[in-house]
Structure 1
Amino acid sequence: MKGQLKQANTKQAFNWSLLLGAAFLMATSAIGPGFLTQTTVFTQQLAASFGFVILISIILDIGAQTNIWRILTVSEKRAQDVANLVLPGLGYVIAALIVLGGIAFNVGNLGGAGLGANVIFGVSPVTGAVISALIAVGIFLVKEAGVLMDKFTQVMGFVMIALTLYVVFKADPPVGEAVIKTVRPDEIDILAIVTLVGGTVGGYITFAGGHRLLDAGVKGIESIPQVTKSSVSAIGIASVMRIFMFLAALGVVSQGLTLDEANPPASVFELAAGNIGYKLFGVVMWAAAITSVIGGAYTSVSFIRTFHPWLERNYKAIIVFFIVLSTAIFATIGKPIKMLILAGALNGLILPIALGVMLLAAYKPSIVGAYRHPLWMTLFGIVVVLLMAFMGGYTLIKQLPQLFIS
């Protein structure tokens, strides 16, 4: 009896470790250099009213992610395979978009890692990026790569949140005003809401944790309660970091201080806590970037590994190649602006396409078996699909001309 109880407790702890690992993988994939800059810039523009934007985006994030993770769980298949079952060939299209965006954004993430290393140690950004890439590669070369990836992203996630919280206290933001404007804003910026949703659950990000759970064997209708907790926890972790960054920036701008346009988040840390704050920014930037590199590489490759047995057998080597390729692009070419513009625009379309496919799949017994998807979740998902499709299309049309400007 005692042995059975001990075994059950061990299994429960193991499952919780997996769920937490998946949550942190998704959350830290979202918290990249762009996440930090995005939050700071919108705070500068909207001040305390940005709290309302964060609140609405959190609700939409939860609606999108719980739908996607739940349907992946009951189908017991990765997103590209579900898409191919809904419409033959669609999974390959989504995979191509994910990989294109993953490479482009990993170039930017490695640039952020290089910048963080430059601030901390004084090495050149390229050297910092190469060292960061070697660390990421090392994680995937060990036998228990999944477990190490989970632990690493958890530690980095806690580091980012703790250091940013310190800066919040130093910045002394008007918390009362922020709370009031969160429910009664002076203005509502729809574009900011959509940008935050895309930056949190857009592109490959929402699938990072969902695919990680499938790889770990967490699947089936019986796993829905656990998966739901993990998906909501992931949004919660990313949102805590978003709120802390918002409050830190609000504390600085409410004092009338001017942020450096070249690096707004660095200004927040430095203006709030001096030179120590600037060094802390380096640590936060590096942690945000390196975890996004890991999450981006892992998830991008997870979208192609089911297409051929050779890809499945050699997926770790492909992840390593993905990181090396991104590093080589950054080290030799720098930040490919036009590629990032196109990938960013396409990234805004991935969420509505992928979520729309998942909602269709939820009503196909050949994919989900006897599972019945809740109507309220379907309606919630449709709202997110329509909103993100409209704004994603608008962004793509607006930004395409920039690709042809030298």
Structure 2
Amino acid sequence: MGAAFLMAMAAVGPGFLTQTAMFTGQMGANFGFAILLCIIADVIVQLNVWRIIVVSGQKAQVIANELFPGLGYVLSGIVALGGLFFNIGNIGGAGLGLNVLFGISPENGAIIAAAIALAIFVVKNALRTMDRAVQILAVVKVAILIYIIWIMAVPYQTAVQHAFMPTKIDFYSIVTIIGGTVGGYISFSGGHRLLEGGLKGKENIRYVNEGALTGIGLASVIRIMLFLAGLAVVMTGYKLAPSNPAASIFQYAAGNFGYKFFGLLLFAAGMTSTLGATFTSVSFLQSATPQTATVKEEKTRKWLIVTFILFSTAVFYFIGNPAKVLVFVGALNGFVLPIALAILLLAANKAKIVGNYTHPRWLTVTGWLVVLFMTYASINTVINLIK
């Protein structure tokens, strides 16, 4: 469950809220089709990635290096860089949440959020503390969205109809939300968390299935609820504010009270994604070679965590709100996904990596279909952006 909640809540960050609200405002009910594709792709990606990591008993960058020397360092670089960009938005989002709740400046709010994150990571039994914090914040997010949907007149029939029969398909939205849910560092967060918890080998595959499906289910439920709330607002003719589309949904639904609720949701989203991005990115930065956790390596890990969080906070504090890049970085992670997934699918057939384990054919076939689709959709997105 630690792995499931870490993956789900790493995905449900400020970028997730911004992307979902923005595309709902632009596409209306047709965005339901993108969400449906996203859920299918998420399940395939997570079951593949988590299985191969746990069966091999090695982190993704180690697997990549064993597949082709040096490839692990490249994978570590692009994953950690994407995580860093996202983390600037995560810290900023948490700071903005505190700004909405208490009126303090977003910059000072970011410093408070960073201090809380550091406290969680540096205490004794940090992994357990991180798991509990993420789970509590997940309950807060779901409760807020249930309330918003409860007070809104949600057009469920229209949403379902367009999810299966869209009148418009936008590849940029598909690439962005898949990238924002299982792209970049997020697809590895749960698998690496299982390794940290000591689960290795094919005898632990049942934990992979339970964790991956629970994580995707939780992230998907939150996205669907936010989409339905946004759709209820959009179909009244109300235009979501381009500068903060997610806040518009809550403010329209419940006035100033709803706006305060959004502040709490944004703070929770920023904090959980900060924990997820930091944990996973540092797990890539630590090493791309197999090793045991010595006291020296644990100290290195803590220094990397401190540096990662402080750098993200400093960039937000001195440069300003990076909200505009959150959607772009989601798309960037969508480009990383087919590369990372292809590496692990190739590794699944290497006996020196997975031993006598046989990867299910249906996961292999569907995994490669996701690689091909995301490659095509990413290229299509670039072409349309250039136009």
**Length-normalised TM-score, structure 1:** 0.89
Whether the 8 Å CA contact 1:100–1:343 is kept in 2: the answer is no
For 1:36, the equivalent position in structure 2 comes to 17
| Correspondence 1:6-405 to 2 at 5 A | 20-307=1-288, 310-335=296-321, 346-393=332-379, 395=381
1:180 Cα deviation from its structure 2 partner: 2.3
Show CA shifts across 1:169-223 (max 9, x none). Answer: 2222111222222222233333322222111000100111110000001111011
Using a 3 Å threshold, how does the CA distance of structure 1 residues 136 and 396 change in structure 2: closer, same or farther?
Answer: farther
Q: Distance in 1 between matches of 2:327 and 2:4?
A: 28
What is the count of residue pairs matched by the alignment? 381
Using a 3 Å threshold, how does the CA distance of structure 1 residues 258 and 345 change in structure 2: closer, same or farther?
Answer: closer
Q: Distance in 2 between matches of 1:275 and 1:217?
A: 46
Whether the 8 Å CA contact 1:306–1:312 is kept in 2: the answer is no
Higher relative contact order (CA 8 A, sep 6+): 2
Q: Distance in 2 between matches of 1:93 and 1:396?
A: 22
Whether the 8 Å CA contact 1:173–1:254 is kept in 2: the answer is no
Using a 3 Å threshold, how does the CA distance of structure 1 residues 116 and 337 change in structure 2: closer, same or farther?
Answer: closer
1:341 Cα deviation from its structure 2 partner: 8.8
SS at match of 2:285: coil
Q: Distance in 2 between matches of 1:134 and 1:389?
A: 39
SS at match of 2:115: helix
Structure 2 unaligned blocks of 5 or more: none
Using a 3 Å threshold, how does the CA distance of structure 1 residues 336 and 263 change in structure 2: closer, same or farther?
Answer: closer
Whether the 8 Å CA contact 2:282–2:305 is kept in 1: the answer is yes
Whether the 8 Å CA contact 2:92–2:322 is kept in 1: the answer is no
Whether the 8 Å CA contact 2:183–2:330 is kept in 1: the answer is no
Letter in 2 for 1:181: H
Letter in 2 for 1:262: S
Select between 165-174 and 306-315 the one with higher mean Cα deviation. 306-315
Whether the 8 Å CA contact 1:30–1:199 is kept in 2: the answer is yes
Letter in 1 for 2:374: M
Whether the 8 Å CA contact 1:106–1:326 is kept in 2: the answer is yes
Whether the 8 Å CA contact 2:144–2:265 is kept in 1: the answer is yes
Using a 3 Å threshold, how does the CA distance of structure 1 residues 198 and 340 change in structure 2: closer, same or farther?
Answer: closer
1:346 Cα deviation from its structure 2 partner: 4.2
Using a 3 Å threshold, how does the CA distance of structure 1 residues 321 and 174 change in structure 2: closer, same or farther?
Answer: same
Whether the 8 Å CA contact 2:180–2:330 is kept in 1: the answer is no
Letter in 1 for 2:5: F
Letter in 2 for 1:25: L
Letter in 2 for 1:103: L
1:87 Cα deviation from its structure 2 partner: 0.7
What's the Cα RMSD here? 2.0
Show CA shifts across 1:207-257 (max 9, x none). Answer: 111100000011110110121111011111100000000011011111111
Show CA shifts across 1:121-153 (max 9, x none). Answer: 000000000000000000011111000101111
Letter in 1 for 2:363: M
Letter in 2 for 1:221: K
Q: Distance in 2 between matches of 1:142 and 1:83?
A: 32
1:164 Cα deviation from its structure 2 partner: 1.1
Using a 3 Å threshold, how does the CA distance of structure 1 residues 396 and 149 change in structure 2: closer, same or farther?
Answer: farther
Structure 1 unaligned blocks of 5 or more: 1-19, 402-406
Whether the 8 Å CA contact 1:74–1:371 is kept in 2: the answer is yes
For 1:16, the equivalent position in structure 2 comes to none
